[in-house]
Amino acid sequence: MKNKHLYAGFKEKYGPYALMAGGSYGLGGAYAEALAKRGMNIVLIARDKEKLDAAAKRLMEQYPVDVIPLAADLADFEKVKAHLEKLTISIGLLVYNAAFAPIGLFETKSEDDLAKAAAVNVRTPLLLTRYLCESMIKNGRGGIVLMSSIAGMQGSPKLATYAATKSFNAVLAEGLWKELKGRGIDVTACVAGAIFTPGYQQAEKTKPAPGAMAAGDVAEQALNALGKGPVFIPGAVNKFARFLFMRLLSRKAAVNIMDKNTGGLS
């Protein structure tokens, strides 16, 4: 298997099961496959039962792993937790990829959409991390990957709510990295740029943003970076963008640049 040496010991450190939140297709599907390549059994959570079951079946046919599909809306943490409490397995790794992005001018977004973005992007990853880290602390090992975004480093017009929620996840991961590393738990925020997923390609009406990457590359690089620091930025262009936005430009200039990059979203 290609890159097999990179996968050695991954399951022993973070297994036996990984919880993949938002993992039926797109970036989540790429993460699920990357985990299966590393020998990780997977609890796969997503809302669409048909796509979820198909993804679980495909992974088990291709890799010698167990995949447990749980159809649940990640906007409802209480129901997600109720599903997990019925399981009798040990989850040593959380990858939280699920996100809801109300695209367009803020004034046009409904209260329901804004509340859903806060629930899926902030409340559930926060409480799910709290729920799972208890057993990780008890076992003295574990891992947590929270997906963030270049959009969350500054205000992002037409993505204002999404950007704000992704900023939360990056800052949360940084704090937990320091708190939990002494307990044997690795935490990182994957601060990604544009990713070629079905949702992105449908929303982006103009040419792709600079540094756009394949979902599989982002997933592989993020998992390989786990344990190496609190924040990981996949892709050279995105690393430069973060340096530019955070170190060299004023906040006003950074927001204006994001405005140009998000102008084609609708």
Q: Which pLDDT band holds residue 4 (cuts at 50, 70, 90)? A: low
pLDDT of residue 201: 46
Distance separating alpha carbons of residues 114 and 101, to the nearest angstrom:
9
pLDDT 10s digits, 124-140: 999 999 999 999 999 99
- Compute φ and ψ for 95, nearest 5 degrees: -120, 110
> Mean pLDDT across the stretch 226-251?
89
What sign for the dihedral angle of Cα 43, 92, 148, 62? negative
Give the pLDDT confidence score for residue 254 in this predicted structure: 84
Residue 110, judged by CB atoms within 10 A of its CB (0-12, 13-18, 19+), counts as exposed
What was the pLDDT predicted at 206?
52
Position 5 confidence tier, pLDDT thresholds 50, 70, 90: low
Comparing CA positions, the residue from 213, 128, 114 lying closest to residue 165 is: 114
β-pairing, 195-196 vs 17-21, is unpaired
**Can you tell me the distance from the alpha carbon of 169 to that of 30, in angstroms, rounded to the nearest whole number?**
20
For 192, left (φ over 0), alpha (ψ -120 to 50), or beta? beta
Phi, psi of 192 (to 5 degrees): -95, 155
- β-partners of residue 122 are none
User: How many helices (DSSP H) and strands (DSSP E) are in the chain?
Assistant: 12, 9
Q: Whose structure tokens read 């977004």?
A: 109
Is the distance from CB of 99 to CB of 148 less than 8 angstroms? no
CATH code linked to domain 4-261 = 3.40.50.720
The Cα 250–Cα 123 span in angstroms is 30
Instruction: Give residue 248's pLDDT.
Output: 82
Q: Angle 215-225/26-37 helices, nearest 10 degrees?
A: 50
Would you say how long the chain is, in residues? Answer: 266
Residue 88: CB atoms within 10 Å: 4
Do the Cβ atoms of 121 and 164 come closer than 8 Å?
Answer: no
What pLDDT score was predicted for residue 258?
85
pLDDT in tens, 56-73: 999 999 999 999 999 999
Residue 23 has pLDDT above 70, yes or no: yes
Provide the residue ranges of all domains of the chain, joining segments of one domain with +: 4-261
Q: Distance between CA 4 and CA 8 in Å, rounded?
A: 7
pLDDT confidence of residue 190: 97
Q: Which residues contact 200 (CB under 8 A, 6 or more apart)?
A: 194, 212
Q: Model confidence at 10, in pLDDT bands (50, 70, 90)?
A: very high
Structure tokens at 162: 């999404």
Strand, coil or helix: 154? coil
Is 135 within 8 Å of 93 (Cβ atoms)? Answer: no
Q: Give the tens place of pLDDT for each residue, 199-238.
A: 554 554 556 677 789 999 999 999 999 999 999 999 888 8
